[in-house]
Chains A and B, each alone.
Chain A
Amino acid sequence: MLAADKDRIQVSERAYYSRTAISLHWLMFVLMAVGFAIGDYMADMHLSPLKLRLVSYHKWIGVTVLGIAVIRVVWRLTHRPPPDLPMPGWQKIAAHSAHWLLYVLMIATPLAGWLYSSAAGVPIVYLKRWRLPDLVHRNDALAKVLDDVHVFLAWTLLWVVVLHAAAALKHHFFDRDATLRRMWIWQRP
């Protein structure tokens, strides 16, 4: 293979995110959407068997999000993403800031939930099977604070996701560039 061909292949590959990055990205989106919806719904529910079930599902989703977030950070640090598309400097800064803020929130939000669970004296038993360690001792006053922190982080995460998605859609429909496509297209030319 000629060096020039090799370069061309690399260039075309690098125009897109890797399939691993794409899979993790959209899987994370679905998990966070479902996790948030359950969390918001169950918070206002009166105690019932359904509520206890939803709380368990919410926790399992949260733990999964936490695990995938860590994998994504490791993947991001060890794999170069496609280079920035041409756009104003402030947009590049805003996009990169949002990405790192998302990584931070994807870890901090479930972690706060886990801390809240421990402080409330209700351990997490992942998928009904694996008991996770308690991060703090039971402390009712601390649990109240951690509840608020968890909810605040979740809503912040929601709004950053909305901003991130709105920017991607703006690039796709108004600027008509490859911003969204490179996180979407599975088949490589």
Chain B
Amino acid sequence: MTHNQRALAAALAVATAFMATAAGDPSIDASKSTLIATFKQENVPVDANFKSFNGRVDYDPAKPNASKAAIEVTTGSFDMGNADYNAEVRKKEWFDSGTYPKATFISTSVKPGATGHFDATGTLTLKGKSQTLTVPVTATQAGNTTVFEGTLEISRAYFGIGDAEWNDVVDDKVRIKFRLVE
């Protein structure tokens, strides 16, 4: 598959995942949700957040097995609080946001754990590469809203984020912390 085909396939997968959930269901409230990537440069942890993402998590505490999640993130919305840095991470060597504007996570199965906990297995697609990941998620319900929280760790090298000259300075492991309010 070419990059474009892959991007199209990912977009279709997201669209399908979105349609699979009933229309009118609540989706993620982006204004209340956060998606933070923490990377380490020279052992210094730096937080940066994705400002634009959307998606939905279908979760019924009574039927946790049937839970589904589909998240779409705009890679060009990564904000490190500095224009120079922001411009750099959108370049080809990093997110290549021009070619790959979106990153997606689509769940494939959910394994319930203790009350309010489940492990979501799904496919993370970033910069044209996909990886199957299992993410432990905590769901907290308060009134009409549910908050889904969790962290996962990914490898920059696997997705080709940042070329080799950076490897001495920036750790390969990047921690992603999400708090999705629905």
Interface size class of B (residues with CB under 8 A): 10 to 19
Partner-B contacts on A (CB < 8 A):
46-47, 49, 52-53, 56, 120-125, 128-129, 131, 138, 140, 143
Give chain B interface residues in 1-47, CB to chain A under 8 Å.
41-47
Partner-A contacts on B (CB < 8 A):
41-48, 80-82, 84-85, 88, 165-166, 168-170
Cβ-Cβ contact count across A and B, 8 Å cutoff: 42
Knowing A53-B169, A120-B82 are in contact, say whether A47-B43 is a contact too (CB < 8 A): no
A49 near B165 (CB under 8 angstroms)?
Answer: yes
> Chain A contacts of B82 at CB under 8 A?
120, 140
Rounded to whole angstroms, the CA-CA distance of A124 and B47 in the bound complex is 13
Tell me what chain B mostly uses at the interface: helix, strand, loop, or mixed: mixed
A128 near B85 (CB under 8 angstroms)?
Answer: no
> Chain B contacts of A120 at CB under 8 A?
81-82
Knowing A120-B82, A125-B42 are in contact, say whether A49-B166 is a contact too (CB < 8 A): yes
A47 near B169 (CB under 8 angstroms)?
Answer: no
A-B contact pairs, 23 of them (CB 8 A): A47-B84, A49-B166, A52-B42, A52-B169, A52-B170, A53-B42, A56-B42, A56-B44, A120-B82, A121-B47, A121-B48, A121-B80, A121-B81, A122-B46, A123-B44, A123-B45, A123-B46, A124-B44, A125-B43, A138-B47, A138-B81, A140-B81, A140-B82
